[in-house]
Amino acid sequence: MFGRNKGKTAKYTKNKIHLKSGDKVVVLNGKDRGKQGKIIAVSPKEGKLIVEGVNLVSKHVKPRKVGQEGGIVKTESALYACKVQLICPHCGKTTRIAHKFMEDGKKKRSCKKCGEVL
């Protein structure tokens, strides 16, 4: 490649994220492999996303107010978008995203397997 790394580019940001929050995905790698969940948040800059119930980390929380309980809270942490695969809501299969041009010229995401617009 060109050798120079302009700006902060993480390892996996070469590929654009075509996923949106609300999409159902399956995890391909790591300790949560095979787990399914809904995307809660996407960070295109980092190439990462947060999936509901996946990649849980324990956070130690101190009680801040009187009567509030401290302890260990589980929260989702971000994982790389290339480590998940989309599940099509129409055909229920893991799929990749294709782009479809609508009659009015708009570009829409569609399922590569069944062709339905997502």
* Nearest to Zn ion of 82, 98 (CB atom): 98
The answer to whether residue 91 forms part of the interface with Zn ion (CB under 5 A) is yes
* Nearest to Zn ion of 41, 102 (CB atom): 102
The answer to whether residue 51 forms part of the interface with Zn ion (CB under 5 A) is no
The answer to whether residue 88 forms part of the interface with Zn ion (CB under 5 A) is yes
Number of residues that this document lists for the chain:
118
Q: How many Cα atoms are found within 13 Å in the side-chain-facing hemisphere of 16?
A: 3
The answer to whether residue 41 forms part of the interface with Zn ion (CB under 5 A) is no
- Return the range that interacts with Zn ion (CB under 5 A); candidates 11-19, 21-29, 72-80, 83-91: 83-91
Sequence-ordered list of residues with C-beta below 8 angstroms from that of 26, at least 6 positions apart, any chain: 34, 35, 36, 84, 85, 87, 94
Query: Rounded CA gap, 78 and 36, in Å?
Result: 15
CA-wise closest residue to 76 among 104, 101, 39, 43? 39
* Nearest to Zn ion of 38, 46 (CB atom): 38
The answer to whether residue 117 forms part of the interface with Zn ion (CB under 5 A) is no
Q: Which residues bind Zn ion (CB under 5 A)?
A: 88, 90-91, 111, 113-114
